[in-house]
Amino acid sequence: MDQKRKIRVLVAKPGLDGHDRGARIIARTYRDAGFEVVYSGLHQTPEEVVQAAIQEDVDMIGLSSLAGAHMYLFPRVVELLKEKGANDIVVCGGGIFPEEDIPKLKKAGIKEIFTPGTPLPEVVKWVEENVKPRG
Amino acid sequence: MGIAEKVISGDIRAVARLIRDIDDKIPEAREVLKDLYPSTGRAYVVGITGAPGVGKSTLVDQMVTHLRKAGKTVGVLAVDPTSPFSGGAILGDRVRMQRHSMDEGVFIRSMATRGYFGGLTQSTRSAIDVLDAMGKNYIIVETVGVGQDEIDIVQSAHTTIIVLIPGMGDDVQALKAGILEVGDIFVINKADREGAERTVNDIRLMIEMDEKRYKDGWKPPILTTQAVFDKGIKEMLDEIEKHRAFVTSCPERQSMLKYEKVRNDLSEMIKDKVVHEVLDDIVHSGEFEEALQLIMKREIDPYTACDNIVLKRLKSDNK
């Protein structure tokens, strides 16, 4: 009766930015939506994020960035997932980004970008519609 | 290559996915576990348990560092609670262990208790087998805060470490019935805090009062650590080795412990399977809801309802 797969998400903060309030709120929101959230903490390299995602077999990685290094860090995560043959893992990002970076990030394989002011239910709805637990 | 071969060859993705399938109760995973079983029984399993916030994850992190320096490979299973309301979970033990994530000799997996039907113990036990089959020398299982279930998991460990912090006084009293019986090593972490001496003495007194326990010769040592500063960890690992030597020094004792583990594993497995199959069946047939409604109207008592359901199933299986 409980053969329904649970969505597993990794919430990570790559880079040197130490502001994790947003990531924590997102982690909590996902938990309340019934997802299993692996929280890996601050100051992660893209390599560490990808390794954690693979070991934890998550369906999605949520990256948080507020310090401006997203144009390197986010695409690098997507690239490493590809290298490891794990590009079925969906990557999305949240934080503060210049308007013109968003299309570039999406082109680099970040599936969605959430900016400040996004209502939390919307973030959950997006995951439910776009992330399918591995079949 | 089949999934079992991939796991045995140490393929990280295959291991990660298999543990997920076990957790999600995918029937195929069970078949893989059958194939893996001959490759299990080689790892040394250490269980770490204690109340929330005593520093279990940090201790595990330091243990991993020491074991890696000694050239051992390590698997870590870190269990955190599932929310009883949403079914979701925040698995945060990894935060303390992240420095090992790039080390190929370490595999860390966070697991949620997934509250229902004792599924936790079953999938954690199976995950231990998977990491064992992939060839890890040591497997460290970090439980959620203490309680009956956590003691169950600890039955799968060769050495069980109970972590406490100074100033737990009455809590320790409350825990002694279950916990003091399963601890092979006691660790007082955050020992720089006031009252460490007293906690050590409290535990010592309780152990001394429980003389029956040392008839077989192992008296649980009490250690003080400061995990954050890597103090006392080396000594803790030495004690684990001593306990390991103790357990393996006597073939009868080893065989008895093994028998207890196998017995416990099998009975838990049967419980899990029977519960799932019967519940699946009666939920699908509508029998479950029917019985619930009758109980709600007080037309039947739950004991009779239960007997009816279970006896009917057992009889039909005998035919």
ipTM for this prediction? 0.90
- Neighbour-count burial of A98, counting CB atoms closer than 10 A to its CB (0-12 exposed, 13-18 middle, 19+ buried): exposed
Answer yes or no: is pLDDT of B239 > 60.
Answer: yes
In a domain, A1, yes or no: no
User: What is the pLDDT confidence band of residue B68, given thresholds at 50, 70 and 90?
Assistant: very high
Q: Please tell me the distance from the alpha carbon of residue B274 to that of residue B56, in angstroms, as a whole number.
A: 34
| Per-residue confidence (pLDDT) for residue B177, from 0 to 100 | 62
Answer yes or no: is pLDDT of A42 > 90.
Answer: no
CB contact under 8 A, B101 and A51: yes
| Per-residue confidence (pLDDT) for residue B315, from 0 to 100 | 73
CB contact under 8 A, B16 and A51: no
| Per-residue confidence (pLDDT) for residue B98, from 0 to 100 | 85
Mean pLDDT of A58-77: 93
| Per-residue confidence (pLDDT) for residue B51, from 0 to 100 | 83
Asked if the C-beta of B249 comes within 8 angstroms of chain A's C-beta atoms, the answer is: no
Instruction: Give the pLDDT confidence of B83-120 residue by residue, as tens digits.
Output: 888 888 889 888 889 889 889 999 999 998 886 444 44
Residues 6+ apart with CB under 8 A from B257: B158, B247
In a domain, A81, yes or no: yes
Higher pLDDT, B151 or A101: A101
- Determine the structural domain holding residue A60 and report its residue range: 8-130
Structure tokens at B161: 């470490």
Q: Please tell me the distance from the alpha carbon of residue B296 to that of residue A31, in angstroms, as a whole number.
A: 32
| Per-residue confidence (pLDDT) for residue B117, from 0 to 100 | 43
Q: How many domains does chain B have?
A: 2
Nearest to B93 by CA among B74, B75, B107, B79: B79
Whether B122 and B240 share a structural domain: yes
CATH number for the domain harbouring residue B99? 3.40.50.300
In a domain, A50, yes or no: yes
Answer yes or no: is pLDDT of B151 > 70.
Answer: no
| Closest by Cβ to A54, choosing from B13, B92, B283 | B13
User: What is the pLDDT confidence band of residue A35, given thresholds at 50, 70 and 90?
Assistant: very high
In a domain, A135, yes or no: no
| DSSP codes joined into one string, B184-217 | SEEEE-STTSTTHHHHHHHHHHHHHH-GGGGGGS
Whether B61 and B210 share a structural domain: yes
- Determine the structural domain holding residue B73 and report its residue range: 39-249
Please provide the average confidence, as pLDDT, over all residues in chain A: 91
Whether B178 and B308 share a structural domain: no
Asked if the C-beta of A88 comes within 8 angstroms of chain B's C-beta atoms, the answer is: no
- For the entire predicted model, the pTM comes to 0.89
In a domain, A88, yes or no: yes
In a domain, B232, yes or no: yes
- Residue B291 is classified by DSSP as H
Higher pLDDT, B27 or A60: A60
Beta-carbon contacts below 8 Å between A and B: 97
List the alpha helices (DSSP H) in chain B: 3-8, 12-23, 27-36, 56-69, 119-133, 148-154, 169-182, 196-209, 233-249, 251-285, 287-296, 302-318
| Per-residue confidence (pLDDT) for residue B82, from 0 to 100 | 85
CB contact under 8 A, A6 and B26: no
Q: Please tell me the distance from the alpha carbon of residue B183 to that of residue A11, in angstroms, as a whole number.
A: 35
Q: How many domains does chain A have?
A: 1
Give residue A70's identity as a one-letter amino acid code.
H
Whether B149 and B214 share a structural domain: yes
Whether B68 and B204 share a structural domain: yes
Answer yes or no: is pLDDT of B17 > 60.
Answer: yes
Residues in chain A with CB shorter than 8 Å from the CB of B25 are 2-3
Q: Please tell me the distance from the alpha carbon of residue B317 to that of residue B40, in angstroms, as a whole number.
A: 32
How close B12 comes to chain A (CA, Å)? 7
Report in angstroms the alpha-carbon separations of B257 from A53, B64, B158, B210, B262: 36, 26, 9, 20, 9
Whether B47 and B184 share a structural domain: yes
Instruction: Give the pLDDT confidence of B78-89 residue by residue, as tens digits.
Output: 988 888 888 888
Instruction: Give the pLDDT confidence of B202-223 residue by residue, as tens digits.
Output: 888 888 877 776 776 888 999 9
How close A87 comes to chain B (CA, Å)? 12
Report in angstroms the alpha-carbon separations of A132 from A59, A85, B20, B22, B99: 7, 18, 14, 18, 30
| Per-residue confidence (pLDDT) for residue A2, from 0 to 100 | 45
How close B108 comes to chain A (CA, Å)? 7
| DSSP codes joined into one string, B104-145 | TTEEEEEEE---GGGHHHHHHHHHHHHHHHTT-SEEEEE-SS
Please provide the average confidence, as pLDDT, over all residues in chain B: 87
Instruction: Give the pLDDT confidence of B266-286 residue by residue, as tens digits.
Output: 988 888 888 888 888 888 899
In a domain, B20, yes or no: no
Answer yes or no: is pLDDT of B123 > 70.
Answer: yes
User: What is the pLDDT confidence band of residue B149, given thresholds at 50, 70 and 90?
Assistant: low
CATH number for the domain harbouring residue A81? 3.40.50.280
